[in-house]
Amino acid sequence: MAIMRTILLKGAENQWLHQRASHYRFVRRAVRRFMPGERLEDAIEAAQLLRDRGLNTIFTRLGENLTERSQATAVVEHYVEVLQRITALSLPTVISIKLTQLGLDLDREFCFQNLCRLVEAAPQGDIVWIDMESSPYVDVTLELYRRARAKYENVGVCLQAYLYRTAKDLESLLPLGPGIRLVKGAYKEPPEIAFPQKSDVDENYFKLASTMLSESAQKQGMRAVIGTHDPKLIHRLQAVATQNGVRKDSFEFHMLYGIQRALQLRLAADGWRAGVLISYGKDWFPWYMRRLAERPANLFFVLRNIIG
């Protein structure tokens, strides 16, 4: 299983595979399980259906590590339009962006200004989420997050439970009253910096999320998002929240489109706040490979689409 994960995550970075796989119809069909379509309109339609079932949504346009300033500017303009569409349609939707989509690899200051533009364009109070990318980006992502949080309330960042450093990062962010979306982590990281065993990642996730749901973190203004599809963890964390007197509507569960759909609906039906992250866009290859790596059994769906 670990070998398969490594192969798939290596594949995610392979340009040759990227260019070829994206053209095959059977791959495109398999991808549909995790994204309603490539167009913004597809994401909007899906968000309307989910809203009718009590679920919030988070939009993210796929694409990362852009190499031209003009590409990053186009991404910002796209998201500004998305925020206007969301407002016009009164959708319970926010956005989640990657800093490398906003030009982080080109110019840190340019990237920060792009981030500020999006946070300012968000309807009042609506949070803009910053994804966490692979480990070389963690320091700079947290640095830009701190700067943004000093200016705005409505900005949040993702932290990854597989990194040893995350406990310290979380502790140092608490006084800011941060928005934090905790996930397990989706990249290939060496054992020197990340727990190699899944059971250790799960336990670290529980510890970190329990801190986010503690009375003191809540008092400091923490906006907690539990970003996982793991039913056992969700169950344990619901118990922690109840025990700490954290109200059901003061934190959220987020999952990815197409994964654990029944659980998403059950959470909403039981009165918990739940959101579904919807990805769209043409540049889905590395993102899709990470979804396969999370659960190599997903390769079965690709094979089924080859057969027809």
Ligand X SMILES: Cc1cc2nc3c(=O)[nH]c(=O)nc-3n(C[C@H](O)[C@H](O)[C@H](O)COP(=O)(O)OP(=O)(O)OC[C@H]3O[C@@H](n4cnc5c(N)ncnc54)[C@H](O)[C@@H]3O)c2cc1C
**Which spans of this chain sit near ligand X (rule: CB under 6 A)?**
131-132, 158, 160, 183-187, 227-230, 254-256, 259-260, 277, 291, 294-295, 298
CB of 185 to ligand X, least distance (A): 5
Please spell the DSSP secondary structure of 240-274, one letter per residue. Answer: HHHHHT--GGGEEEEEETTSSHHHHHHHHHTT-EE
Q: Smaller CB distance to ligand X: residue 68 or 143? A: 143
What is the distance between the alpha carbons of residues 214 and 8, in angstroms, rounded to a whole number? 36
Q: Smaller CB distance to ligand X: residue 66 or 158? A: 158
Q: Smaller CB distance to ligand X: residue 33 or 70? A: 33
Q: Smaller CB distance to ligand X: residue 112 or 253? A: 253
CB of 226 to ligand X, least distance (A): 9
**Residue that the structure tokens 């909007």 belong to:** 44
Amino acid at 67: T
Q: Write down the catalytic residue from 131, 149, 202, 291.
A: 131
Name beta bridge partners: 227.
254
Q: What is the 3-state secondary structure (H, E, C) of 174-213?
A: HHHCCEEEEECCCCCCCCCCECCCHHHHHHHHHHHHHHHC
Q: Smaller CB distance to ligand X: residue 68 or 193? A: 193
Cβ neighbors of 11 (< 8 A, separation 6 or more) are 17, 289
Active site residue 283: no
What is the distance between the alpha carbons of residues 256 and 271, in angstroms, rounded to a whole number? 19
Q: Smaller CB distance to ligand X: residue 76 or 256? A: 256
What is the distance between the alpha carbons of residues 90 and 225, in angstroms, rounded to a whole number? 22
Name beta bridge partners: 59.
95, 278
Q: What are the percentages of helix, strand and coil residues in the chain, rounded to 5?
A: 55, 15, 30
CB of 240 to ligand X, least distance (A): 16
CB of 146 to ligand X, least distance (A): 17
Active site residue 230: no
What is the distance between the alpha carbons of residues 1 and 7, in angstroms, rounded to a whole number? 10
Kindly list the distances between the CA atom of residue 290 and the CA atoms of 3, 36, 88, 141, 255, in Å, as whole numbers in the listed order.
14, 17, 33, 20, 15
Q: Write down the catalytic residue from 61, 149, 181, 223.
A: 181
User: Is residue 46 a contact partner of residue 257, using CB atoms and an 8 Å limit?
Assistant: yes
Which residues are catalytic, by number?
131, 181
